[in-house]
Structure 1
Amino acid sequence: MDIGITTGGQMIVMILTFLLNKVISMRLGPTQYMEYSLIHKTAGVITYVMILSLGIAIPRYIAIYRSKKELNKEFICLTASFCLVLLSTTIIFFLCLIFKDDFAKLIFGRETKYELYVIPTLMLALQMGLTTLLYSYYRGSDRFFMYSVSQCVVSIGLLLISIIVNRLIPMVYIMSIIGVIFSILSFWRIWKNYRIKGCTIEKKTLKAEIKTLARYSIPRVPGEFVLFSFTTVPLIIINQKIGPEQAVAFSVSLGIISAISPFFRYIGMVLLPYASKSIAKDSFKDLDRKMKYLSILYTGVSLLGIIFVLIFTKFVIVILYSSEYVQYVETVRIMIFSLLPNAIYLLLRNPIDALIKFPINTVNLIISFLVMNLIIYFSDSIAMYAFSFFIAYTILGILSWGSWTVLKRRNLNSMKNR
C-alpha cells in the first residue's frame, strides 16, 4: 500500500520535474541554465551538511518509536532535530557569508557578478533542507499520502514560479521563500498536533535525544556531502576546464537522469522506515522478499528508460529542454547508461542505513566519487568526462549490492541462530 501510494505520487513528481526542467531551460537559455544548475546542485550539497543527515535519522527513529507506540518520543525526536538543524544552519550561513568572495569564485568562476549568487544559493539550500526534513518526517510516521501530496504541492509551486519569473536570481529567491514558508507552516501544524495529544518535553530527555540523533547522523554527513557533491564537483571541474557553453552538455545529461530518478529515489526512501520497523519487529524475511521484487522492478524500469533514451535521444532533449540542446546528443547517450547502477544504489542505500549504524554508504560513495573526479581531472576529452560518470555509478552500484548481500546474510544467519 505504502509503495503503491508513493509510486503514484512519484510519477506525478517525475512529470512535474520534467516540466520544471523544460520551462527553466527555455526561459534561461543554455548559459544561464548551466548557472542555475550549479546554484541548484551547490544548494543540494549545502543542504545535506546543514541538516546533518537527519533525512536518514528522522525516518529511522520516528518509525521505531511509532512501532513501539512511544508518541512522546516522536515529538522529542522531531524537536531535537530542529535544535541540531538550527545550530548547523547558523554556522554554515555565517561561514559562507564571511568567505562569500572565495565561495563564489570556487563554485561559479571569477566574474564579480557571481558574488550575488551566494545568498540565493544559501536560501535555496535552506528551502531544500526544510522540505527534506518535512518529507523525512512523513516517511517515518507512515504518512505516505501526505509525503506524496507535500512533494506535489512544492513541485507545482516551483513550476508556477518558473513560468511567471524569467530572471535567474529573482526566480531562485521566490522559489526559496515560498518553500520555506510552506515547510514552516507544515511543521507548525505537526507540532501543534503533538501538543494537543499531550506531548511534552523535558530538558534532560531533549538532550539525550539530541545525542542519539547526533551519534547516528553526524558520521553520515561526509557520505551525504559526497552524495550531493557527486555531480556538483565534477560539473565545477568540467565547467572550469571547458567553459559553460560545453559543460552544459553534462547538466543536460544529468537532468535527464534526475528526471527519471524520482521513481527510484522516493520509492527507495519508503524502505528506510519499513526496514527499521522490520528489524524492531524481528521480521527481516518480509523485508528480504520485498527487496527481491523491487530489484526486479528497478532493473526492468532502468533498462526500459535507457533503451527509450537511446532510441529517442533528440526527442527526449527537445521535450525536456529545447532544440537548442540537441547538439549534446552524444554526451546524453553515454551518460544514460548510469541510470541502471544509480537505480541499484537508490534501492539499497536506505535499507543498508536501517540495518547498520556504521556508515557503509559513506565509504561506498567516497570510493566512487574519488574515482570519477580522478578520471575527469586527468582526462581531456568530453567523451571521457561522460564515461567517468558511468564508471563511478557502476562502482557505486556494485559496492552497494555487495554491502547489502553481506548485511542480508548476517541478519538471516542471526535469525537462524536464535
Structure 2
Amino acid sequence: MAHAEGDTKSTGAYFSSALFSVGLAALAAAAIMNWQRSWMAFLFMGSDQFAFLIPAISVAFIGITLHSLCYAYFRGTLEISHANILQMVNMGVVPLLVFSVWRTTVEEVMYALGICWVTGSLIAMLFIPTRHTIASMVPAIKQLLRYGLPRVPGDFAMMGFLALPVTLVAHLSGVREAGYAAFGISVLTAIGSVFTPVGVVLLPQASRLVAKGALQEFKRNTLHLLKLGTGLALLITLAGEILAGPLITLYLGPEFFGMVGIFRIVILAALPYATYILLRNVIDAVHVRPVNMFNILISFAIFLGSSLAVQAVSGGLMHVLVSFVVGISALGILSGWETRKIFSGAEPA
C-alpha cells in the first residue's frame, strides 16, 4: 500500500488482488475442511465427534479472512478511523451480541459469528475500490506474491504458536482443558492488540527515517516507544499476577476460579510478546529479507522442543503453557537482539 499511497486506483488494485488471491485460498481451505470433516475435527479438537462443527467453523473462517483483508487495507492506506470502526464492530460488538443472543449450541454461535463477520466485511468493502479486471490485477498480484511469499512461513509459524498449544492440550487432556488454554492465550492476544496499532504509524515513519539516513532519530524514537510499551506490559503482567483471582471470578464467574493458575502462567508472556509486536515493525522497516520470519521459526522450534521435552516427563495443560511462554520469551529476546544490532550500526540486509 505504501508504494501506491495517494493513488486510489493502485491501492484498490492491491486490495482486489489480495481479495482474489486470499479469497481463492480461503475457499479452497474451507472446501478441504468440509471434505475431511472427521480428520479436521480430530486434528484441531482431539476427536472426530466434533465433525459437525466444521461447516460452522468454515463460515467463521471465511468471515475472519474477509475482515482481515479489509482491516489491512484501511491500515495500509492510513484510514485509521475506518480500521478502528471495523475492528470495534467485528471483534468487539459482534462477539458480545452473538454470545448474548445465541446461547443454545456452539454450532449456532460459530455460524452467527461467521455470518456477522462476512456481513460487516462486505459493508466495509463499499468504502474500498474493488472494480478491477483480472488483467489489471496481474502486476499487483505478482508484487504481492514477491514480497509476501518469503514471509508466509513466519506467518504460519506465528499462527501455530497461538493455535498449537490448544490443539496439544485437546489431545493430551481433553476439550474442556483446551478451552481453558484457549482462554489464556486469548488474554495474551488481547494484551498484544493494545500494542498492535502502534505499527500503523511506526512502520511508515521508520521506513521514512531509514530512507533519509536519520538513524539517530530513528533510534531515539524507537527506544522511547519501547520504554513506554515495555513499561505498560510490565504493569499489565504485575496486575494480572496479583489480581488474577478477582479478575477470573468477575469475568467468568466463581465456578471458573480453577483457571487462575493458567492465567498467571500465560500472562508471563505479555512482556516478551509486547516487545516482539513493538519491534517487528522496526525490523521490517530496515531489512528487506524476512528477519522476523527467521526469529519466529527459531522461537517456534524452541516451543516445540520444550513441549516434546516436558511431554516425555509429564505431559499436561500446564506443561504445554510453560513451553508456550518459553517460546514467546525467546521471540521477544530475538527481536530485541536484532534491534540492538540495527542500532549498533549493522548494515541493513
When normalised by structure 1's length, the TM-score is: 0.75
Of residues 330, 333, 338, the one that matches 1:395 is 330
- The verdict on how the C-alpha distance between 1:242 and 1:86 changes in structure 2, with shifts beyond 3 A counting, is closer
Contact 1:63 1:276 survives alignment (8 Å):
no
**Corresponding residue of 1:72:** 9
Query: Structure 1 residue 237 and structure 2 residue 168: aligned?
Result: yes
Contact 2:272 2:332 (C-alpha < 8 Å) held by counterparts:
yes
Deviation for aligned residue 1:239: 2.0
Tell me how far apart the structure 1 counterparts of residues 64 and 209 of structure 2 sit (CA, whole Å): 29
Q: What is the DSSP-based 3-state SS (H/G/I as helix, E as strand, rest coil) of the residue aligned with 1:357?
A: coil
Shift of 1:277: 4.5
1:146 to 82, 91, 96: 82
Deviations 1:201-237 (A, max 9, x none): 5765521211110011122121111111112112211
Deviations 1:17-59 (A, max 9, x none): xxxxxxxxxxxxxxxxxxxxxxxxxxxxxxxxxxxxxxxxxxx
Provide the secondary structure at the position in 2 that maps to 1:312. Answer: helix
**Aligned residue among 126, 130, 154 for 2:66:** 130
Deviation at 1:325, TM superposition (A): 1.6
SS at match of 1:231: helix
Judge conservation of contact 1:131–1:179 (CA < 8 Å) in 2. yes
Q: How far apart are the structure 1 equivalents of 2:143 and 2:331?
A: 29
Q: Give aligned-pair identity as a percent.
A: 25
1:269 Cα deviation from its structure 2 partner: 4.2
1:372-411 equivalences under 5 Å are 372-379=303-310, 380=314, 382-409=317-344
Q: CA deviation at 1:106?
A: 1.0
Cα drift, residue 103 of structure 1 = 1.1
Letter in 1 for 2:189: S
User: 1:158: which partner in 2?
Assistant: 95
Q: Distance in 2 between matches of 1:366 and 1:102?
A: 26
Q: Which residue of 2 aligns with 1:176?
A: 114
Give the one of 90, 105, 116 matched to 2:42. 105
Change (3 A) 1:289 1:145: farther
Could you give the per-residue CA deviations for residues 106-128 of structure 1, whole angstroms, max 9, x where no partner exists?
A: 1112242x111112222112111
- Matching residue's letter, 2:64: M
Structure 2 gap segments, 5+ residues each: none
Structure 1: which 5+ runs fail to align? 1-61, 196-200
Q: In structure 1, what is the Cα distance between the partners aligned to 2:14 and 2:318?
A: 47
Distance (Å, rounded) in 2 between the aligned partners of 1:283 and 1:96: 49
The answer (yes or no) to whether the contact 2:102–2:108 under 8 Å persists in 1 is: yes
List aligned pairs for 1:142-291, cutoff 5 A. 142-154=78-90, 155-166=92-103, 167-191=105-129, 205-279=136-210, 285-291=216-222
C-alpha distance 71-405 of structure 1, shift in aligned 2 (>3 A)? farther
Q: Tell me, yes or no, if the aligned pair for 1:80 and 1:210 is still in contact at 8 Å.
A: yes
Partner of 1:326: 257
CA distance in 2, matches of 1:375, 1:272: 33
Which residue of structure 2 lines up, in the alignment, with residue 42 of structure 1?
A: none
Please name the residue that 1:85 is paired with.
22
Deviations 1:295-348 (A, max 9, x none): 011111111111111111101112332212211222322322111001101111
Residue equivalent to 2:2: 63
* Alpha-carbon distance in 2 for matches of 1:363, 1:147: 29
CA-CA distance at 1:410 after TM superposition: 5.2
Secondary structure of 2:47's counterpart equals coil
CA pair 212-111 structure 1, distance change in 2 beyond 3 A: closer
Q: 1:79 to 1:282 in 2, by over 3 A?
A: farther
Query: After superposition, what is the alpha-carbon deviation per residue over 1:124-170, rounded to whole angstroms, capped at 9, x for unaligned?
Result: 12111111111111111111122112211222122111111112111
The residue aligned with 2:228 is 297
Once the two structures are TM-superposed, the CA of residue 407 in structure 1 deviates from its matched residue by 3.7
| Cα distance in 1, alignment partners of residues 23 and 246 from structure 2 | 45
Write the distance in 2 (CA, Å) between the matches of 1:106 and 1:253.
20
What letter matches 2:242 in structure 1? I
- How far apart, CA to CA, are the structure 1 residues paired with 2:183 and 2:15? 37
Alpha-carbon distance in structure 2 between the residues aligned to 1:273 and 1:127: 28
Cα pair 1:338 1:393 within 8 Å, conserved: yes
Matched, 1:366 2:304: no
Deviation at 1:176, TM superposition (A): 0.9
Q: How far has the Cα of 1:371 moved from its partner?
A: 1.7
Answer yes or no: is the 8 Å Cα contact 2:161–2:324 preserved in 1: no
Alpha-carbon spacing, 1:165–1:362, altered in 2? closer, same or farther (3 Å):
same
CA–CA distance in 2 between the matches of 1:104 and 1:202? 38
Q: Is the 8 A contact 1:278 1:284 kept in 2?
A: yes
How far residue 243 of structure 1 moved from its aligned partner, in angstroms, is: 2.0
Judging changes above 3 Å, is the alpha-carbon distance between structure 1 residues 159 and 313 closer, same or farther for their aligned structure 2 residues? same
Distance 2:26 2:183 in 1: 30
Structure with the greater relative contact order (CA < 8 A, sep ≥ 6): 1 or 2? Answer: 1
The one-letter code of the counterpart of 1:241 is L
Residue 73 of structure 1, CA deviation = 2.0
> In the alignment, is residue 121 of structure 1 matched against residue 57 of structure 2?
yes
Q: Counterpart amino acid of 2:39? A: D
The alignment partner of 1:295 has SS state of: helix
Distance 1:355 1:124 in 2: 36
Higher mean Cα deviation, 238-247 or 181-190? 238-247
Q: Which amino acid aligns with 2:122?
A: I
CA distance in structure 1 between the partners assigned to 2:234 and 2:148 by the alignment: 34
